[in-house]
Amino acid sequence: MKVIKDLAKMIDHSILHPTHTDEDLLKQCEVAMKYDVASVCVKPYAVKMAAGKLKDTSVKVGCVIGFPHGNSSTKVKVYEAEQACNDGATEIDMVINIGKTIGGDWDYVEEEIKAVTDICHKNKAIVKVIFETDFITKTEDKIHLCEICTRVGADFVKTSTGYGFVKQGDGSYNYTGATLADVELMRKYSGPAVQVKCAGGVRTLDDLLKMKAAGATRSGATATEAIIAEAIKRFGEK
């Protein structure tokens, strides 16, 4: 059914856990192919392998840059993005410099996002800019980032990495990830040419549908099989 296909084409199937082996990568690429999702999102070293596995399919290869904490220098992020494109990535998910953003060094932040966006577009790749909303918590900072991404021509704004762990009151670390409020805010303050990607904590079909209603057109997911299985059960067989 079209509704199931459309939902699958919202999903960037994430293969990013540090413990993932090459065997895991290939297995998860099979999952991506089975459900014909929008893309896989992989670690930089894995781009060539994923591109080879997904050759002649409609599943795109995406790569994370400066992941997960955004601390690389601008030159390194630009180099990493260009290398990923050369290896076969057509979608790039970059993490902003979180400390510079919190510190209000907006010239640095804008120059970096522009530099990565420009190198991606030069290589015919799209760029998704990850805010990491577990760390960037001030509404005015999120709005400013949306304005910057619109100004420099980024293709997507994105909520989270799924690895933005914050120390809790009991001493443990956890993250919130994507929230409806953040997706709505990002949709409201980004230009019409900029799409919104949610990521982090989107684990069920209902999660995905709520994010879609809030304005997201892409979603990172590791629970792709469960989400699509529930969609088939709810909306009928393909």
Active site residues: 93, 158, 197
CA distances from 88 to 9, 34, 59, 85, 179 (A): 20, 20, 12, 5, 31
CB atoms under 10 Å from CB of 21, counted, come to 8
| 136 close to 142: Cβ distance less than 8 angstroms | yes
CA distances from 222 to 16, 26, 87, 110, 125 (A): 9, 14, 23, 30, 23
**The dihedral formed by the CA atoms of 163, 98, 193 and 162, expressed in degrees to the nearest 10:** 0
| 235 close to 3: Cβ distance less than 8 angstroms | yes
Of 236, 237, 181, which is closest to residue 214 (Cα–Cα)?
Answer: 181
Judged by phi (left if over 0) then psi (alpha if -120 to 50, else beta), residue 200 lies in: left
Encoded amino acid at 63, one letter: C
Instruction: DSSP letter for 44, please.
Output: G
